[in-house]
Amino acid sequence: MTNDQTLKEAIEAWLQQYRHNEKFYEGKVISLWEPIVGPMIAKETDHIFIRNKVMIVKLSSAALKFELEFAKKKLVKSINKQAGREVITDISFV
């Protein structure tokens, strides 16, 4: 009998066992913000957090908030794809 398991599988099992899985993926999604939106938008981002599968992004530019509203669905899809699972269902720009 062997217990062959990849490191990824072992970490996921540990996260699931100790119920840290969602927080892990939420942190991953937050760290993906800059690579996905780019440095110019990231520079205008003051704070990001996730509550009830909604990513709340505080921006310093009202014009940018308005523009990003049009890209919201695409951003959600791209972020979840990069995370490898559905972590967020919506984004709220404040």
Q: What local confidence, expressed as pLDDT, does residue 1 receive?
A: 47
Tokens of 79: 């972020």
User: What's the domain range around 66?
Assistant: 7-93
Confidence of residue 19 (pLDDT cuts 50, 70, 90): low
Please report whether residue 83 resides in a domain. Answer: yes
> Domain count of the chain?
1
pTM for this prediction: 0.75
DSSP H/E element including 58: strand 54-59
∠ CA 94-26-72, nearest 5°, is 40
Write out pLDDT tens, residues 27-85. Answer: 888 999 999 999 999 999 999 999 999 999 999 999 999 999 999 999 999 999 998 88
Strand partners, 69: none
Please report whether residue 2 resides in a domain. Answer: no
